[in-house]
Amino acid sequence: MTASTDAIVSNGHGHSSKATATNGTSTSTDERPTALDLSHHLSLLARSRRASPLKDIIRYMAVPGIISLAGGLPPAAYFPFHSVSASAYPASTVLDPETGTPPADSVEVVIPRHKTSDTAFDIAGGLQYTGGSGLAKFAELCKDLTERMWEPVYSDWDILVNSGGTDAWTKVITMLLERGEYVITETQVYPSAQASFIPMGVTAFPIEDDGEGMRADALEAALAGWDESRGRRPRVMYLVPVGQNPLGTTMGAQRRQAIYDVCVKYDVVIIEDDPYTVLQFEPWVVGSKSHPPVPAKTNEDVAAFLDSMVKSFLTIDVQGRVIRLDTFSKTLAPGARLGWFTGSKMFIERLLRGTEVQTQMPSGISSVVIGELLNKWGLDGYLLWITNLREQYRVRRDWMLDALSASFDLVPAESTNVAGAIGLVAYPKGQAHTGPALMSFVPPTGGMFVWCRMYYRTHPQFASFAASYKPEHPEDGDATQAFEAKFWVRLVEALVLLTPGWYFTAFEGEGVSSYGQPGVGAFRLAFSFEPKDLQEEGIRRMARVMTEEWCA
Amino acid sequence: MTASTDAIVSNGHGHSSKATATNGTSTSTDERPTALDLSHHLSLLARSRRASPLKDIIRYMAVPGIISLAGGLPPAAYFPFHSVSASAYPASTVLDPETGTPPADSVEVVIPRHKTSDTAFDIAGGLQYTGGSGLAKFAELCKDLTERMWEPVYSDWDILVNSGGTDAWTKVITMLLERGEYVITETQVYPSAQASFIPMGVTAFPIEDDGEGMRADALEAALAGWDESRGRRPRVMYLVPVGQNPLGTTMGAQRRQAIYDVCVKYDVVIIEDDPYTVLQFEPWVVGSKSHPPVPAKTNEDVAAFLDSMVKSFLTIDVQGRVIRLDTFSKTLAPGARLGWFTGSKMFIERLLRGTEVQTQMPSGISSVVIGELLNKWGLDGYLLWITNLREQYRVRRDWMLDALSASFDLVPAESTNVAGAIGLVAYPKGQAHTGPALMSFVPPTGGMFVWCRMYYRTHPQFASFAASYKPEHPEDGDATQAFEAKFWVRLVEALVLLTPGWYFTAFEGEGVSSYGQPGVGAFRLAFSFEPKDLQEEGIRRMARVMTEEWCA
How far is Cα B76 from Cα B311, in angstroms, rounded to an integer? 43
Residue B340 lies in a domain: yes
Residue A459 structural domain: 394-550
Q: Please give the sequence-ordered ranges of beta strands (E in DSSP) within A113-195, or none if there are none.
A: 157-162, 182-185
The mean pLDDT value for B326-352 works out to: 98
pLDDT at A25: 41
pLDDT at B142: 98
The percent of residues above 70 in pLDDT, for chain A, comes to 94
The mean pLDDT value for A9-13 works out to: 30
User: pLDDT category, B513, cuts 50, 70, 90?
Assistant: low
Do B432 and B376 share a structural domain? no
The mean pLDDT value for A45-49 works out to: 96
Q: Which residue has the higher pLDDT, A462 or A28?
A: A462
Which of A45, A47, A56, A78 to probe by mutation at the B interface, max B CB count within 10 Å?
Answer: A78
User: pLDDT category, A15, cuts 50, 70, 90?
Assistant: very low
pLDDT at A4: 31
Structural element, H or E, at residue A496: strand A496-497
pLDDT at A543: 98
Residue A196: closest CA among B50, B284, B532, B271 = B50
Residue B62 lies in a domain: no
Do B133 and B266 share a structural domain? yes
pLDDT in tens, A183-236: 999 999 999 999 999 999 999 999 999 999 999 999 999 999 999 999 999 999
Which residues, including other chains, have CB under 8 Å from residue A112's CB and lie 6 or more apart?
A83, A120, A122, A123
How far is Cα B14 from Cα B35, in angstroms, rounded to an integer? 7
Residue A195 lies in a domain: no
User: pLDDT category, A324, cuts 50, 70, 90?
Assistant: very high
- The region of weakest confidence among A68-77, A321-330, B57-66, B462-471 is B57-66
Which one of B127, B191, B359 has the shortest CB-CB distance to A335? Answer: B127
Which of B50, B59, B63, B67 to probe by mutation at the A interface, max A CB count within 10 Å?
Answer: B67
Cβ distance of B53 and A191 shorter than 8 Å: yes
pLDDT in tens, A125-142: 999 999 999 999 999 999
Do B321 and B414 share a structural domain? no
In chain B, the number of structural domains is 3
Whole-number Cα distances in Å, B263 to A198, A247, B150, B156, B226: 33, 51, 20, 20, 14
Structural element, H or E, at residue A344: strand A339-344
**Distance between alpha carbon A487 and the CA centroid of its chain, in Å?**
30
pLDDT at A119: 82
Do B306 and B356 share a structural domain? yes
pLDDT in tens, A397-413: 999 999 999 999 999 99
CATH of the domain at B454: 3.90.1150.10
Residue A529 lies in a domain: yes
pLDDT over threshold 70, residue A7: no
The mean pLDDT value for A502-519 works out to: 85
Which of A56, A63, A69 to probe by mutation at the B interface, max B CB count within 10 Å?
Answer: A69
Which residues, including other chains, have CB under 8 Å from residue B478's CB and lie 6 or more apart?
B469, B471, B514, B515, B518
Please tell me which residue of chain B has the smallest CA distance to A167. Answer: B359
pLDDT at A26: 41
Query: Nearest CA to CA, how far is B136 from chain A (Å)?
Result: 14
User: pLDDT category, A8, cuts 50, 70, 90?
Assistant: very low
Residue B55 lies in a domain: no
User: pLDDT category, B29, cuts 50, 70, 90?
Assistant: low
Please tell me which residue of chain B has the smallest CA distance to A197. Answer: B357
Do B399 and B378 share a structural domain? no
CB A331 within 8 A of CB A386: yes
Which of B89, B365, B397, B499 to probe by mutation at the A interface, max A CB count within 10 Å?
Answer: B365
Residue A140 lies in a domain: no
pLDDT at A376: 97
Residue B69 lies in a domain: no
Which one of A70, A163, A192 has the shortest CB-CB distance to B499? Answer: A70
Residues from chain A that touch B525, judged by Cβ atoms under 8 A, are 69
Burial of residue B378, with CB atoms counted within 10 A of its CB: 0-12 exposed, 13-18 middle, 19 or more buried: exposed
Do B369 and B418 share a structural domain? no
Do B363 and B446 share a structural domain? no
Do B412 and B362 share a structural domain? no
* Average model confidence (pLDDT) across chain A: 92
The percent of residues above 90 in pLDDT, for chain B, comes to 86
Please tell me which residue of chain A has the smallest CA distance to B279. Answer: A74
ipTM confidence: 0.93
Q: Helix or strand or coil: residue B329?
A: coil
Query: Nearest CA to CA, how far is A429 from chain B (Å)?
Result: 21
Cβ distance of A337 and B448 shorter than 8 Å: no
Residues from chain A that touch B71, judged by Cβ atoms under 8 A, are 526, 529
Which one of B70, B127, B528 has the shortest CB-CB distance to A526? Answer: B70
How far is Cα B123 from Cα A370, in angstroms, rounded to an integer? 14
CATH of the domain at B109: 3.40.640.10
CB B323 within 8 A of CB B123: no
Residue B127: closest CA among B144, B139, B118, B115 = B115
pLDDT at B459: 97
Do B124 and B100 share a structural domain? yes
Amino acid present at A10? S
pLDDT over threshold 70, residue A27: no
Residues from chain B that touch A484, judged by Cβ atoms under 8 A, are none
pLDDT over threshold 90, residue B221: yes
pLDDT at B110: 96
Residues from chain A that touch B534, judged by Cβ atoms under 8 A, are 67
Do B202 and B345 share a structural domain? yes
Residue A454: closest CA among A502, A524, A407, A520 = A520
Which residues, including other chains, have CB under 8 Å from residue A453's CB and lie 6 or more apart?
A421, A439, A440, A441, A501, A520, A521, A522
How far is Cα A24 from Cα A32, in angstroms, rounded to an integer? 15
Domain termination site, one of B358, B390, B422? B390
pLDDT at A227: 94
- The region of weakest confidence among B55-59, B113-117, B397-401, B506-510 is B55-59
pLDDT at B25: 42
User: pLDDT category, B409, cuts 50, 70, 90?
Assistant: very high
Do B241 and B166 share a structural domain? yes
Residue B328: closest CA among B379, B275, B390, B261 = B275
**A103 upstream amide cis, omega within 30 of 0:** no
Residue A426 lies in a domain: yes
Cβ distance of B335 and A84 shorter than 8 Å: no
Which residues, including other chains, have CB under 8 Å from residue B410's CB and lie 6 or more apart?
B286, B404, B424, B425, B426, B427, B432
pLDDT over threshold 70, residue A359: yes
Q: Cα angle at A430 between A429 and A431, to 5 degrees?
A: 90
CB B477 within 8 A of CB B148: no
> Between A and B, how many CB-CB pairs are < 8 A?
375
Domain termination site, one of B332, B365, B390? B390
Do B512 and B442 share a structural domain? yes
The residues with which A489 forms a beta bridge, in sequence order, are none
